[in-house]
């Protein structure tokens, strides 16, 4: 029986599977040892991938304590799955700094938090800033209220087990979380899976006082497809998003050094922040300063580019200005 919660539709275009076995090099045969479908296939694969990242960040933290900075970047290159992972975690850390106020508990909400590995990634980023003598006024991470939504109950339980010293609320529906939190984060792929229309997208972003996210929009009409995981993704039209955005009392900025137009698929990928003008400005100022100082401090260490990405210095511009720069103003 297909998992409606996992696929989001009764008759999916594709299904998820996981297979493990052996190839006998002497006999030239292939034997299947384990085979799983649907949510369990995803859970079993991604548990190993995300927990590997968590353990790598913890090991890198120990290297930092010993001052073995070159080992840190070597391990990052070898063990962290996504090359820009720590870049993203630094964004979340800066988001907490930009929204924190005295005498109040900071709150963080991630859609698709899986194992809440962001805690370990952000903790490592704090170690790195301390090593580089870069000041960032950010709350202690064990004092933050961590909120996450994942359709996998397995991941929600594992998030708690991995982080027993943190205040974590990991649930299967956003209706079970507080209405308003300080920082919202989601990866673009998660939003492509989870969001079905523009109203849904804005409702998701507005759960945070400040949102950090990326997203791929269609430059033409809405598009549904699959991308290898077995789950359907939906690309919303940028023109519909812009119409709704013009009615909002928040602003959106785009990092032009990471965002891009993709002509071959008629899509536009935006690396973005969204919130009040004041909080966005605070974030952008901190983000540019931190990235610049990091590049100066550790940029010459071998493999540091895997941490910093090829564009260590962001260039932020308003959404509508960026759209005009790309020649898409007619949308």
What are the domain boundaries of the chain?
A: 4-325
C-alpha separations of 194 from 44, 48, 200, 250 in Å: 20, 23, 9, 22
128 burial type by CB count under 10 A (0-12 exposed, 13-18 middle, 19+ buried): buried
- pLDDT exceeds cutoff 60 at 128: yes
Q: What is the pLDDT of residues 163-218, one digit of tens each?
A: 999 999 999 999 999 989 999 999 999 999 999 999 999 999 999 999 999 999 99
Neighbours of 192 (CB within 10 A): 20
pLDDT at position 177: 94
Q: Is the distance from CB of 73 to CB of 303 less than 8 angstroms?
A: yes
Q: What is the pLDDT of residues 230-289, one digit of tens each?
A: 889 999 999 999 999 999 999 999 999 999 999 999 999 999 999 999 999 999 999 999
Q: Which residues pair with 260 in a beta bridge?
A: 269
Q: What is the pLDDT of residues 135-177, one digit of tens each?
A: 999 999 999 999 999 999 999 999 999 999 999 999 999 999 9
Backbone torsion region of residue 327, taken as left when φ is above 0, otherwise alpha when ψ lies between -120 and 50, otherwise beta: left
Single out the residue of 307, 270, 302, 303 nearest to residue 290, CA to CA.
307
CATH superfamily membership of 4-325: Vaccinia Virus protein VP39 (3.40.50.150)
């Amino acid at each position: 029986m297909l998992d409606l919660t996992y696929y989001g539709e009764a008759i999916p275009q594709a299904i998820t599977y996981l297979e493990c076995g052996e190839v006998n090099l002497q006999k030239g045969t292939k034997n299947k040892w384990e085979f799983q479908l649907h949510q369990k296939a995803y859970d079993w694969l991604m548990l190993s991938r995300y927990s590997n990242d968590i353990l790598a960040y913890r090991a890198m933290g120990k290297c930092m304590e010993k001052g073995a900075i070159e080992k840190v970047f070597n391990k990052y290159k070898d063990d962290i799955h996504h090359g820009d992972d720590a870049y993203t975690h630094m964004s979340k850390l800066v988001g907490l700094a930009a929204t924190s106020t005295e005498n109040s508990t900071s709150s963080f909400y991630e859609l698709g938090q899986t194992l809440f590995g962001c805690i370990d990634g952000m903790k490592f980023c704090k170690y790195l800033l301390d090593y580089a003598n870069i000041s960032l006024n950010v709350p202690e991470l064990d004092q933050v209220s961590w909120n996450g939504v994942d359709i996998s109950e397995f991941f929600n339980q594992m998030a708690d087990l991995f982080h027993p010293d943190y205040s974590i609320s990991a649930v299967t529906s956003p209706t079970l979380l507080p209405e308003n939190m300080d920082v919202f984060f989601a990866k673009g792929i998660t939003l492509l899976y989870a969001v079905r229309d523009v109203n849904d997208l804005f409702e998701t972003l507005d759960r945070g006082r400040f949102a950090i996210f990326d997203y791929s929009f269609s430059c033409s009409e809405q598009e549904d497809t699959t991308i290898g995981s077995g789950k359907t993704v939906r690309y919303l039209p940028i023109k519909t998003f812009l119409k709704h955005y013009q009615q909002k009392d928040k602003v959106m900025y785009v990092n032009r050094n990471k965002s891009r137009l993709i002509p071959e698929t008629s899509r536009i990928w935006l690396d973005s922040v969204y919130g009040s003008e004041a909080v966005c400005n605070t974030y952008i100022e901190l983000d540019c300063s931190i990235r610049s100082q990091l590049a100066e401090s550790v940029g010459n260490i071998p493999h540091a580019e895997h941490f910093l990405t090829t564009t260590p210095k962001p260039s932020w511009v308003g959404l509508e200005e960026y759209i005009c720069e790309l020649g898409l103003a007619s949308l």
